[in-house]
Structures are given as C-alpha cells and as structure tokens.
Amino acid sequence: MSYRVTFVCTGNICRSPMAEAVLRRHAEEEGLDVEVDSSGTGGWHAGDGADPRTVAALRRAGYASAHTARQFGDGWFDRYDLIVALDAGHRAELHALAPDRDAAAKIHLLREYDPDAAGDLDVPDPYYGDDAGFDDVLTLVEAAMPGLLDAIRAGLKERDGRA
C-alpha cells in the first residue's frame, strides 16, 4: 500500500500544487511508493487548473504539472498518512476539521522539514504578487523536500514493521 501525502493551501492553485509536483518527482526518482495530491481549504477554484504562474515556475525548474483544484473534505483524514499544510492558517483549519487526535497528528507544516527554516514556518502566498514570488515559493518547497522525504521513508519503514 502506498504512503499517501497531501498538501493543503488556500485555493489549491499556487502553493499546494507546486509542492505536489516537486514531491511527486522526487518520490518517483527515488522509487518510493508514494501517492501525492493536493487540495485547498476553500473551494473557490475547484475544477480550475493551477495558476499559470505556478505552472511557469515549475516548468522553468524542470517539473511537470497537470493539476485540477479541489477542496479538502472533512472526511478525508483516513485517506492520508501525512497532511502537509503550507501555512499556519491552513494548519489551524485542518486541526478544526480533524475528527480526533490521530487525525490531527497527521497534520504538519511543510517548512517543519526544512532544517534551515527559522521562526516563521509559513510558505507565503504568491497569488497577489509577481512571478518572482512563485519562484521564491518553489525555493522554499524544494528546501523542505530532503527532510520531507526522510519523514516519508521513516513512515514507510514504520508501517512495514522495519522501524
């Protein structure tokens, strides 16, 4: 059974689809059995593709992106091993939806996995800014990937009884 990870931001068109694309490629390159997707805390963009600036930033960095936005559902906690919020507001909204402590324990901030992150662990929303903001978000997402991959490897070992 695959290890299941979802990323959650506000509208699921900027930050979370970017993180999804980056993790998907790294997991595939390592041959990890990981399913990756993303969603938003709100449904404003449900059915839309990723923001064109997200797609452009990903392409500039060599990542593929095929995405349709959707809203995180309150009954989805059992679907995932790890739920990764992009900022503290998303984490708070997810905690409010969590049906119990086990579900809440699955929720983490992406930048928790970046050993060089200090203080504010939010990934800023680039939506109202220029293209450079999307590149900055991609830099933050990529910085967290080694730590996130370590956590996924540990989760896979634990689940497989090899911890």
pLDDT, tens digit, 9 for 90 and up, residues 33-53: 999 999 999 999 999 999 999
Q: What is the dihedral of CA 46, 138, 134, 7, to 10 degrees?
A: 20
Integer Cα distance of 145 and 4 in angstroms: 15
Integer Cα distance of 110 and 104 in angstroms: 15
Integer Cα distance of 96 and 141 in angstroms: 25
Per-residue pLDDT at 118 exceeds 90: no
Give the burial class of 71: count Cβ atoms within 10 A of its Cβ; 0-12 exposed, 13-18 middle, 19 or more buried.
Answer: middle
Token pair for 67? 């995405």
Mean pLDDT along residues 117-144: 96
pLDDT at 32: 97
pLDDT at 163: 52
- Judged by DSSP in three states, 149 sits in helix
Q: What is the pTM of this model?
A: 0.96
Could you tell me which residues come within 8 angstroms of residue 97 by beta carbon, excluding any fewer than 6 positions away? 72, 74, 77
Catalytic residues: 9, 15, 125
pLDDT at 65: 86
Mean pLDDT along residues 50-77: 96
Q: What structural domains and CATH numbers belong to the chain?
A: 3-159 (3.40.50.2300)
